[in-house]
Every structure is written in structure tokens, then in C-alpha cells.
């Protein structure tokens, strides 16, 4: 008959196997005994923290209130190439043969959706209120869990989300360490960042870098500059970091992301290629390079990158959606519909389903089946009633069908085009379509 394992050792085993709930419950049982069990306290706080842990380096979701009330804006109109609020229009190597869709901020859609991209942000206050809370992705761990104080800080900061008390604890710990502990300075900077005090956070991160040169601290400081809308300063910081940490993937990837935000797609693609030289399994780099090749009218090359992701085990709606488009434009029609069928099967929400039906509508237009295209765009609007591109394409199909002689049909086309213009006021094709529809109105 085997011996029962020691409870604290069993709790630690649960933690190592990422069974955080069992670990927390067992630690609670240990804490019901005699007081002073510091190891159980520390392990329980770590387990509770890991349940809700979010890597502060990657997570940078700008809230709707911060977009409306930006107190850090220095100039209303920034110089070209120096701001992320008004990205430039240069593609770096001339205009792309294919029309690349853009977000509401005017930035072209990339091949990888990150927490800080516009696609994940609510567009209005009502959308922000109705948006459900979702889990954020977890990447690299950047905390230090040695003493009870550090575990307690992480518990207060992540689990309780009490930034004020976490800042107070970090300030006391820094004072106790005689302002010589770089780790606590980074935690103070994180608290200031959460509170919107970006200049104070910048001072803490700079002070921490003087004491200890760390990649994570460079990434935190770059986040501050990006929130202050200083992408050139962030680029210089990343390049200085590469001088001290040659070949560091996170720094190269940070440079590529900034170039994407500034609409310099060709430079971003070059830096993503440098990322693959260091890590040939980097999902974001592979997806973004594949997307760049697709919109450069090279679907065959893009197909190779997306198949590589499939071989690596990436299995989601977005990947099969892209595979279907690449197969269609590469004239591999036998795989087109099967890829879209798999994408519909893997769609997790109505927005993803709408994207698949919209792309199927483009395939139907490409093969000349306008009735099928009409139904696909209608199904797109069933799943997402704010899909501006679908409204625009339905208006075009109404014109192609010859339904513009009747006032009612013409009005439906004009209404659809107006909805598209509301979402993308600067869309040239939509403006030309509205102009043509107004001419038809004048002839009736």
C-alpha cells in the first residue's frame, strides 16, 4: 500500500500540471490548519493568479473611453509617417495590384489579429457596452515568483485587478529595497500604465533599464511610446534593443508591427522574414507574409505559407477561409469549396460566419453565378448586419441584374451603398457607385 503524498507537495504537483483549481482548493485546506504556512499562501496566490493571468506585454486593448477622451494628444495633425492615428498611404513599393481591405482607421488588414488591432475594438459606446468580456491570449510569462511579496503583488494586480493597492505594495517594496530592485520598478511602471499615467510609467521603465537590461522592460517601454503615439521613438527603442540583444524575435516582431500600423507593408514583410530566420515556426510572421503575398497578387506563394500553418497544427476558421481564397485565385478549384465548408464548420461566432459567406460571394462572382453571389451576400448580412462591403456588393449586383429601372429596386441599391459609405467614408468604389446611382435617379 503506497504512502499518501504530502499535501503541499501534491498542491505543487497540481500547479505544475496547470490544475490551478485543485491546487487552490488544496492550499485552502492547508491554510485552515495552524497559521503561518507561508508556502501555502504563496502557492495559492500563484494558482489564483494563473487562472486569470494576462501577459501585459501583448495585451493592449484601447478602451472606447480612451479613444474618445485622449489626454495625451500633442498635435491634432501629425506629420506624415510619425503617427499611428493617421497612418500614411505609402505601401513602400508602389501600389499593390490587389485591393487590400482596410480597418476603420484606414490601416490595411494584416494576416494576424492581435489584441491591439482595430478589428477587436468597439466602434461606438453602445457596442462597447454590449461587447461580452472574453479571454485574452497568453504568450510569454514575464513575472518573477520568488518571495511571497511578488506572488501577492501578482495576485492583487491580475486576480483582484486592484491597481491602486498593487501600486502601493510595489512602492513600499521598492522603498524597502532602497530603490535598487529593478523588478519592482517594472511593476510600478505597469501600474502607472494601467492608470493612464504614461509619463510616470516611462520614468520607471527607464530607471529599471539602467539597473538591469531586460527584453521585457524594452517591450513595456515601447508600449508606452505607442500609446503616446510616438511610433518613431518606439522604433528607435526596438533597434537599440536589437543592438544589445541581437536576433531577439520579440523585438523584430515589434518593429514589423509598427511598420504595419504605419501602412509600410513592404518593410513590415522584410522584418517578418527576419523573424522567420530566427524562428521558422512563428505563426504571426508566417500569416502576415502569406497575407502580403496574397494582396501582392501571388496566391500560389501565399498558399504555401498557409499550408505551412496547417502543418504546424493551426486549425481554425480564419486559416481555412484564407486557404479557400488562395486556392480559388490560384485556380485550384477542387480545394476551394471544401476549404470554405471547413471554415463554416469551424466558425465560432456570427462575425466569422459572415466573413466566410462574404468570401464565398466573391467566389460566386468570379465564376459568373450572380444569383449564388446575391444569396451569399444576403447570408453575410444575416450573420452581420453591419457588413459594409456586403451592402456595397449587393448594390452592384442590383445594377448588374438590370433592376435599376424601377424606383424601388434603385432605392434598395442606393440604401445599400449609403450604408457602405457610412462605414468607409473614403472608399472610392462606393463613392463612384453612389454617383452612378444618382445619375440613374435623375433619368427616372
pLDDT at 22 over 70: yes
More confident residue, 147 or 214: 214
414-434 average pLDDT score: 63
Model pTM score: 0.76
Return the C-alpha cell found at 276. Answer: 522567420
pLDDT given at position 256:
95
Which residues in 398-424 are b (16+ Cβ under 10 Å) and which e? bbeeeebeeeeebebbbebbebbbebb
Confidence of residue 91 (pLDDT cuts 50, 70, 90): very low
Choice among 84-93, 146-155, 357-366 with the minimum mean pLDDT: 84-93
pLDDT given at position 62:
54
264-268 average pLDDT score: 91
Choice among 42-46, 80-84, 242-246 with the minimum mean pLDDT: 80-84
Indicate the average pLDDT of the chain.
79
32-70: per-residue pLDDT in tens?
A: 877 656 788 888 888 888 888 776 776 555 544 454 445
CB under 8 Å to 79, separation ≥6 — which residues? none
Confidence of residue 402 (pLDDT cuts 50, 70, 90): low
324-345 average pLDDT score: 92
pLDDT given at position 414:
62
347-373 average pLDDT score: 92
Choice among 252-256, 344-348, 381-385 with the minimum mean pLDDT: 381-385
Residue with cell 522574414: 273
Fold designation for 353-444: 1.25.40
pLDDT given at position 77:
60
Contact 401, 369 (CB under 8 A): no
More confident residue, 443 or 168: 168
Contact 323, 306 (CB under 8 A): yes
User: Which of these, 318, 328, 253, lies nearest to 285 by C-alpha position?
Assistant: 253
Domain spans of the chain, in order of start: 1-54+145-161, 353-444
Which three-class secondary structure state does DSSP give residue 102?
A: strand
User: Which of these, 391, 399, 388, lies nearest to 423 by C-alpha position?
Assistant: 388
Confidence of residue 240 (pLDDT cuts 50, 70, 90): very high
362-371 average pLDDT score: 90
Which three-class secondary structure state does DSSP give residue 289?
A: helix
pLDDT given at position 355:
92
Confidence of residue 192 (pLDDT cuts 50, 70, 90): very high
CB under 8 Å to 378, separation ≥6 — which residues? 394
pLDDT at 319 over 60: yes
pLDDT at 205 over 70: yes
Report how far apart, in Å, the C-alpha atoms of 277 and of each of 148, 258, 281, 282, 325 are. 40, 19, 10, 10, 27
pLDDT at 144 over 50: no
Confidence of residue 8 (pLDDT cuts 50, 70, 90): confident
User: Residue 102 pairs with which residues in a beta bridge?
Assistant: 108
Return the C-alpha cell found at 113. Answer: 489579429
pLDDT given at position 2:
52
d(Cα 43, Cα 48) in Å, to the nearest integer?
9
Amino acid at each position: 500500500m503506497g504512502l499518501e503524498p504530502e499535501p503541499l507537495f501534491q498542491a505543487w504537483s497540481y500547479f505544475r500540471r496547470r490544475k490551478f483549481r485543485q491546487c487552490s482548493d488544496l492550499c485552502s485546506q492547508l491554510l485552515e490548519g495552524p497559521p503561518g504556512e507561508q508556502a501555502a499562501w504563496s502557492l495559492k496566490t500563484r494558482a489564483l493568479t494563473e487562472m486569470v493571468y494576462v501577459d501585459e506585454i501583448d495585451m493592449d486593448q484601447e478602451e472606447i473611453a480612451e479613444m474618445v477622451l485622449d489626454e495625451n494628444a500633442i498635435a491634432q495633425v501629425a506629420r506624415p509617417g510619425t503617427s499611428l492615428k493617421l497612418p500614411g498611404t505609402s505601401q513602400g513599393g508602389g501600389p499593390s495590384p490587389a485591393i487590400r481591405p482596410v480597418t476603420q482607421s484606414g490601416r490595411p488588414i494584416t494576416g494576424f489579429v492581435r489584441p491591439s488591432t482595430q478589428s477587436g475594438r468597439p466602434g461606438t459606446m453602445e457596442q462597447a457596452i454590449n461587447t461580452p468580456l472574453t479571454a485574452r491570449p497568453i504568450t510569454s510569462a514575464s513575472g518573477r515568483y520568488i518571495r511571497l511579496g511578488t506572488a501577492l503583488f501578482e495576485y492583487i494586480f491580475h486576480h483582484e485587478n486592484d491597481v491602486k493597492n498593487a501600486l502601493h505594495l510595489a512602492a513600499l517594496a521598492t522603498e524597502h529595497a532602497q530603490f535598487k530592485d529593478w523588478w519592482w520598478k517594472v511593476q510600478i511602471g505597469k501600474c502607472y500604465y494601467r492608470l493612464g499615467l504614461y509619463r510616470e510609467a516611462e520614468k520607471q521603465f527607464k530607471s529599471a533599464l539602467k539597473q538591469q537590461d531586460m527584453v521585457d522592460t524594452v517591450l513595456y517601454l515601447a508600449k508606452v511610446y505607442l500609446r503616446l503615439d510616438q511610433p518613431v521613438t518606439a522604433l528607435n527603442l526596438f533597434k537599440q534593443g536589437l543592438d544589445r540583444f541581437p536576433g531577439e524575435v520579440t523585438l523584430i516582431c515589434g518593429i514589423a508591427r509598427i511598420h504595419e500600423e504605419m501602412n509600410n507593408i513592404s518593410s513590415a514583410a522584410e522584418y517578418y522574414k527576419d523573424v522567420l530566420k530566427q524562428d521558422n515556426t512563428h505563426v504571426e510572421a508566417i500569416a502576415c507574409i502569406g497575407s502580403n503575398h496574397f494582396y501582392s497578387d501571388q496566391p500560389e506563394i501565399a498558399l504555401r505559407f498557409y499550408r505551412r500553418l496547417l502543418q504546424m497544427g493551426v486549425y481554425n476558421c480564419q486559416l481555412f477561409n484564407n486557404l479557400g481564397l488562395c486556392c480559388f485565385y490560384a485556380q485550384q478549384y477542387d480545394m476551394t469549396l471544401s476549404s470554405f465548408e471547413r471554415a463554416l464548420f469551424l466558425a465560432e461566432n456570427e462575425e466569422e460566419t459572415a466573413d466566410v459567406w462574404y468570401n464565398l460571394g466573391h467566389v460566386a462572382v468570379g465564376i459568373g453565378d450572380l444569383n449564388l453571389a446575391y444569396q451569399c451576400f444576403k447570408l453575410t448580412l444575416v450573420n452581420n448586419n453591419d457588413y459594409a462591403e456586403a451592402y456595397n456588393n449587393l448594390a452592384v449586383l442590383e445594377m448588374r441584374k438590370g433592376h435599376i429601372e424601377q424606383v424601388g429596386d434603385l432605392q434598395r441599391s442606393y440604401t445599400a451603398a449609403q450604408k457602405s459609405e457610412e462605414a468607409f467614408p473614403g472608399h472610392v468604389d462606393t463613392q463612384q457607385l453612389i454617383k452612378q446611382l444618382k445619375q440613374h435617379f435623375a433619368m427616372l
